[in-house]
Chains A and B, each alone.
Chain A
Amino acid sequence: MADVSLRNVSKAFGDTQAIDDLNVTIKDGEFVVLLGPTGAGKTTTLRLIAGLERPDNGSILIGGRDVTKLEPAMRDVAFVFQQYSLYPHLTVYENLAFPLRSPSRNFTEDQIKARVAEIAKLVRIDHKLENKSTKLSGGEMQRVAIGRALVRKPSIYLMDEPLSSLDAKLRGDLRLELKRIQSELFSTLLYVTHDQIEAMTMADRIGILAEGRLVQIGTPREIYTQPANLHVAARLGQPAINILPAGLLPADAAPAGTKTIGARTEHLTIEKATNGHADGTVDWVEHLGDQNHLHVTVKDRKLVTLAEPDTAFAKGDTVTIRFNEPLYFDGAGNRIAG
């Protein structure tokens, strides 16, 4: 394991600037998640580190060694592809053994056997080792793909939305599993996703990418409570943060220059209107079972917030709304630190 740094890395595909002057360091043993929408440059970042793409500018260091011009095989990284990419002509066992059979490594057949058995157990695929890799379910294929990366002990594991094509339950299971494996092995891991729950639950640090640039990087808590700008704020939180123009609702504490107020559930205190004064009307109560989504109309604006499962609110209720230390943003969308 080793730390990995990208220094001023840029990469364009034709006219599209996929990565724009990216600087990021993943520390030894750290689990970093890159979060961003499609086309933000997440996958390109992984491919640059793996050596599947060459940067136009900048350098990539793995364990202090400049690998910018090295072939993928010489970089000592492991990659989990979004589409599994299991070798279709090989069995599960041979897929897992494939990286160990590389001519650049010298493992005896016994060592390979032991290692594959160990990893197969870890990713719970040991009962299907003799299956053709094409004769597996999606979840099994994904576990083999992760296993094929884990079978080695590389400088860094790179994972490209490895859970995105699985169903919700399996995704939840594997998420925990992956985090467990990572902390047990103390491995360095760079993980790419557009799923905020994956990012929040697994990451030591989250990097938010947008249009090939790193907008913000920090612990999940930092990213959530102190987003650098509106873009970052909008990426995290369920239901999504309410973006309201300043002045829509009374906000006495708003610092000068506030143009937009971002309010998550915990930033809003909503009560039934009692003395004739009301800020908005309950539009709809969305019952999710363990919680409710409360849709409130304020003038022509819609607002979504969480409510208790046994909420007393009903459609048509008039309510008062107060901010509770919300997030303030200036005209450019950057947060004004309170």
Chain B
Amino acid sequence: MSAAAHSVVEPSSTSKRIAGTLIILYALISMIPLFWIVATSFKTPPDSIAYPPKILFTPSIEGYCNLFTTRTRQTPEYINALPPAESFCDETVRKRNMVIAGPSNFLPRFLNSVIIAFGSTFCAVFLGTLAAYGFSRFRVPLADDLLFFILSTRFMPPIAVAIPIYLMYREVGLSDTALGMILLYTAVNVSLAVWLLKGFIDEIPREYEEAAMIDGYTRLQAFRKVVLPQATTGIAATAIFCLIFAWNEYAFASLLTSGTAQTAPPFIPTIIGEGGQDWPAVAAGTTVFLVPILVFTVLLRKQLLRGITFGAVRK
């Protein structure tokens, strides 16, 4: 194979192999904390704080028991007088001289996260799609200025406006409400959604809608029947980005939610306070918290990739 025949030189198999090795190495290093969290969640509390750290250990689901329950300390006599333990968790906590008093707050907090993250993602994508379509297709007065203004809301870290938002929310009664958090995350995400989706919709030729409108559809019907189906990739990519932000958001959540509307991120650190340094329970909370986003991302990984490389690859 002469170099002259190929203007673009194929990378040699050696360099490919080196690149591959580096990528795998990087992936492994990145995954160490993740592995550590998952491993810790299956350790017993003594194992979790053992020094030197235990790589090999007998797995236990005590962390998960502790995550989902609240427990009270009792005397051994009291515990011995109880009827036999009904579940594995029962048995495990009794060994530590405790009984299960009831479910913990983790599940409701987790559900708050689901409602707020998915709710705000839906709102941001819904509004973003309509706005992006408008900017893409209509002659909007001052369109460029408006788009810049929308983008400019991303210029500062959202937490910079935490105090005013905190005061406003207290004033209008949105503090510690799911609605308040959905509104907040939607507001933060909608700018990203508008910009991403505008790019995707710009790529869909207008002629499809024009054809549909001549074929007897109104603009809204043409949008639904012709534009939306073709924008699904972009919508999915945008949805993942919005969801990841809303799901992981910590600062606003810890500031604005403390009770009924509290999401999982500010809740998980509080687990540690309930009965000593319960690292396995914290790790279990984190692991459970990771699952939905992991599933969602794996399901939509193709669209996510397209979203990341968006703009770099042009037809």
Contact = CB atoms under 8 A, between A and B. Distances in A.
A83 B207 contact: yes
B217 A102 contact: yes
A284 interface: no
Nearest to A75: B214
B230 to A, nearest CB: 6
Interface string A67-99: 000011101011101010101110000000011
Contact of B214 (A50, A88, A89): A50
Contacts of A78: 214-215
A73 B205 contact: no
B24 interface: no
A98 B215 contact: yes
A89 B211 contact: no
B52 interface: no
A212 B217 CA distance: 30
A102 B216 contact: yes
A103 B218 CA distance: 9
Interface residues of A, number: 24
Contacts of B21: none
B100 interface: no
Interface string B208-228: 101111111110010001100
Contacts of B229: 89
B225 to A, nearest CB: 8
A104 interface: yes
Contacts of B216: 73, 99, 102-105, 152
Contacts of A148: 211, 215
Contact of B215 (A51, A88, A102): A102
B217 A103 contact: yes
B199 to A, nearest CB: 18
A105 B217 CA distance: 10
A176 interface: no
A73 B211 contact: no
Nearest to A52: B210
Contact of B226 (A71, A77, A79, A87): A87
A180 B212 CA distance: 27
Contact of B218 (A73, A88, A98): A73
Contacts of B205: 83, 85
A72 B213 contact: yes
Nearest to A102: B216
A85 B221 contact: no
Contacts of A72: 210, 213-214
Contacts of B225: 98
Contacts of A75: 214
A87 B208 contact: yes
A152 B210 CA distance: 16
A327 to B, nearest CB: 40
Contacts of A87: 208, 211-212, 226
A79 B218 CA distance: 16
Contact of B207 (A85, A102, A104): A85
B270 to A, nearest CB: 48
Contacts of A103: 216-217, 221
A284 B208 CA distance: 50
Nearest to B226: A87
Interface string A107-139: 000000000000000000000000000000000
Nearest to B205: A85
A73 B214 contact: yes
A167 B229 CA distance: 32
Contacts of A89: 229-230
Contacts of B215: 73, 78, 98-99, 102, 148, 152
Interface of B: 205, 207-208, 210-218, 221, 225-226, 229-230
Given A79-B211, A98-B225, 11 more contacts: A50-B210, A51-B214, A77-B214, A81-B207, A83-B205, A83-B207, A87-B211, A98-B212, A103-B221, A105-B216, A152-B216
**Sorted from nearest, which 10 A-B pairs have the closest CB atoms?**
A102-B216, A99-B215, A85-B207, A72-B213, A89-B229, A79-B214, A85-B211, A72-B214, A104-B216, A73-B216
14 contacts: A50-B214, A51-B214, A52-B210, A72-B210, A77-B214, A78-B215, A85-B208, A87-B211, A88-B230, A89-B229, A98-B212, A98-B225, A102-B221, A104-B217
